[in-house]
């Protein structure tokens, strides 16, 4: 009888030990799963924040480049390239391939707008990727010879000259997850040339 009682007590003790270990294992599993969910959520939020910040920076970069080019009757390509590199380093702030497409458009009196010149040479990053970006970025210039395809809300009076800067960026590390979903960053900014009546030279 004592033997049976002793065996029962051992069985109960073993069961208790198993249940305690099982609870600890379940808690460890729950903690591991919770950590994965939290880390994944944090990564997605940070990736999305990076994308939004880069998109906002792209708008600023396009506006600054347009302001710079619109002020000069003889745009200096070397200075424009330096400005693009400065903006990349100080405004964008994340690794990316990017391209600026700068276009000058004039509306002759009584005729539809025409392209005076287009420049796609300001590219930063991998040569192949930036060339792809530059080719796809010129969304408002089409055909050969090129003709402007202006957004519907753009209006030009006769003899107006407009400088359009299109900015495209492809994030390469931070923000790369949302890059897969949302695609390349695209921004456009347009300003009238400051010296209306004088045709601006192509960047040289």
Reported as a single tens digit per residue, the pLDDT across 33-83 is 666 666 767 777 777 888 888 899 999 999 999 999 999 889 999 999 999
Q: Within 13 Å of residue 59, how many CA atoms lie on the same side as its CB?
A: 5
56: helix, strand or coil: helix
pTM for the structure as a whole: 0.77
Burial class (CB in 10 A: 0-12, 13-18, 19+), 157: exposed
Q: Rounded mean pLDDT of 142-162? A: 77
Reported as a single tens digit per residue, the pLDDT across 106-141 is 888 888 888 899 999 999 999 999 999 998 888 877
- The enclosing H or E element of 136 equals helix 127-137
- Integer Cα distance of 16 and 77 in angstroms: 79
Boundaries of every domain in the chain: 26-192
């Amino acid at each position: 009888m004592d033997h049976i009682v002793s065996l029962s007590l051992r069985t109960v003790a073993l069961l208790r030990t198993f249940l305690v270990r099982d609870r600890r294992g379940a808690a460890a599993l729950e903690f591991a799963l919770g950590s994965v969910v939290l880390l994944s959520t944090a990564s997605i939020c940070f990736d999305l924040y990076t994308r939004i910040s880069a998109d906002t920076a792209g708008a600023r970069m396009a506006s600054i480049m347009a302001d710079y080019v619109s002020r000069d009757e003889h745009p200096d390509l070397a200075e424009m390239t330096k400005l693009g590199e400065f903006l990349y380093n100080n405004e964008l702030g994340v690794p990316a391939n990017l391209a600026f497409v700068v276009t000058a458009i004039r509306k002759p009196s009584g005729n539809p707008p025409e392209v005076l010149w287009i420049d796609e040479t300001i590219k930063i990053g991998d040569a192949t990727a930036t060339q792809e970006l530059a080719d796809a970025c010129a969304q408002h210039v089409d055909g050969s010879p090129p003709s402007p395809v202006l957004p519907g809300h753009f209006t030009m009076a006769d003899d107006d000259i407009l400088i359009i800067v299109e900015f495209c960026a492809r994030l390469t590390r931070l923000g790369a997850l949302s890059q897969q979903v949302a695609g390349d960053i695209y921004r456009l900014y347009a300003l009238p040339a400051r010296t209306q009546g004088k045709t601006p030279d192509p960047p040289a």
